[in-house]
Chain A
Amino acid sequence: MREDIDAFIEPIVEAAQIPSRRRRDELRRELRSHFEDGGLTPEALHDAVARFGDTGRIGDSLRKVYRRDYMLFYIVKVGACIAAATMAAILIEAIAGLRLESDADAWRLSPDFAHAARFGVVLTLALVAAAEATRAPFTWSRALLSLGCYAIVSACALSVNANSVGAFVTASILATIGVGFARTATAWTSRALLTLAAFTVAEYLLHQSLGITFGPIRALAASAILLMLWASTITIVAFSDRAFVSVFRTT
C-alpha cells in the first residue's frame, strides 16, 4: 500500500520543482501522512485518491508557490555555467597563445593573448545565451530573457569600449552557427567537422568584409581554437543542464 501511495505522490513532488531536498522530503512526508490518515485499505486509498484531485494541477500549483526558489537556482546554474565556460575559454586561449621564445628558452604568452581571451569570453557568453534560448522545451519567455540579458551585457560592454562592437557581432554570428550545428548533427565527429567548416567560412568572410587580410589557412587555424572553445562550452552547458534536472529527481 505504501508503494501505491508513493507512486501517486511522486509525480506531484517532481512537478513542484522544489530545489531544496529537505523541502521535497517534507512535502513527500506530508502527502504520505495525508493518505495514511485516510486509511490504508485499498478502498480507502481509492477514495482518498478520488478526493485528492488532479495531480498535474496540484503539482502546478505547488510549482507556482516555489517558483522564486526555482528561478534563483536557475540563475545560480547559469552563472556557474558562464563562470566555468569563461575560465575554460581563457585557459584554451592561454594554451593557444603560448609561444616558445628561441633566445630566452622560455614560454611566453603571445601579444595577441589579451585580445583573443576577450573575444573568447564574448563568444562564451554568446554561446551560453544561444544555448539557453534554444534549450528544449523551447519557451518564448526563456528565449527572450536569454537574448535580452546578452543584449544588456553587449550594450554595457559597448558603452565602456565602443570598439568591441566587432567582437560582439562576430561572436553572435559564430554562436548562432555553433548552437545550430550542436542541435542538428547527431555524431560528435560530424558536428565538430561541420562546425569547424562553418566557423572557417564565417571567419574568412567576416575578415574579408572588413578589409582585413586573413587567408583561409589562418581562418582555419583560428577556427580550430574557436572549435575547442565551442566544444568546452557546450559540454559545460550540457553537464550543468543534466545536473540541474537531476536535482529535482533526487529522492
Chain B
Amino acid sequence: MEYDREFLTGTVGLLILSLLNEREMYGYELLREAERRSSSAFQLKEGTLYPALHHMERSGLLKGRWRDSETGRSRKYYRLTAKGRRQAQSKRRQWLQISAAMRSILGDSHA
C-alpha cells in the first residue's frame, strides 16, 4: 500500500531505534526486518535509510562498526548507544500516546 509521505515522516527514526534496540544490524538487514515485521507495509525508498543512519550516528544515538558476517562479507553494523537507548524509549512512549489519542479520535472501528 502507498502511504502518504506526511504520515511516514519521522517514523524512519523510530523504526531504526526500535529495531536496533533488540540487536545490532546492518542497513540491508534493517530494511528486510522492517519489511518482514510490517508484512511489507513499510516499503520505503531504501536509500533514505542511510542518511538517517549517518545522522543518528553523528548525533551519538548509534555506533557503527565494521565486522565480517557469517558469510565472510564485511558489513557496517549499527548498535544503540546509551543515549540512543534513552531516545528509543522516549520515542516509543510518544508514539504510543499519539497513536492511542488518534485511535480515540478516529474510533476503534477505524483503527
Contacts and interface: CB of A to CB of B under 8 A. Distances in A.
Given A51-B46, A55-B47, A58-B48, A33 B55 contact: no
Interface in B27-74: 27-28, 43, 45-48, 50-51, 54-55, 58, 66, 73-74
Contacts of B66: 26, 29
Given A33-B26, A37-B28, A61 B73 contact: no
A121 B35 CA distance: 61
Nearest to B71: A37
Nearest to A69: B58
**What are the 3 closest A-B residue pairs judged by CB atoms, nearest first?**
A53-B45, A61-B51, A58-B47
A53 B76 contact: no
Given A33-B74, A36-B73, A51 B27 contact: no
A203 B66 CA distance: 62
B75 interface: yes
B58 A65 contact: yes
A64 interface: yes
29 contacts: A26-B66, A29-B66, A29-B74, A29-B76, A33-B73, A33-B74, A33-B76, A34-B27, A34-B28, A36-B73, A37-B73, A51-B43, A51-B45, A51-B46, A52-B45, A52-B46, A53-B46, A53-B47, A53-B48, A54-B45, A57-B48, A58-B50, A58-B51, A61-B48, A61-B51, A62-B54, A65-B51, A65-B54, A65-B58
Interface string B1-40: 0000000000000000000000000111000000000000
Given A38-B28, A57-B48, A64-B51, 6 more contacts: A33-B76, A51-B43, A52-B45, A55-B47, A58-B51, A62-B54
Interface of A: 12, 26-27, 29-31, 33-34, 36-38, 48, 51-55, 57-58, 61-62, 64-66
A57 B50 CA distance: 12
Q: Is the interface of A mostly helix, strand, loop or mixed?
A: helix
Nearest to B43: A51
Nearest to B56: A65
B47 A52 contact: yes
Contacts of B28: 33-34, 37-38
Contacts of A38: 28
B26 A65 contact: no
Q: By CB atoms of chain B within 10 A, which of A31, A34, A62 has the most? A: A34
A240 B4 CA distance: 45
B105 to A, nearest CB: 32
Contact of B50 (A31, A37, A54, A64): A31
Contacts of A37: 28, 73, 75
B96 to A, nearest CB: 28
Contacts of A52: 45-47
Interface in B54-111: 54-55, 58, 66, 73-76
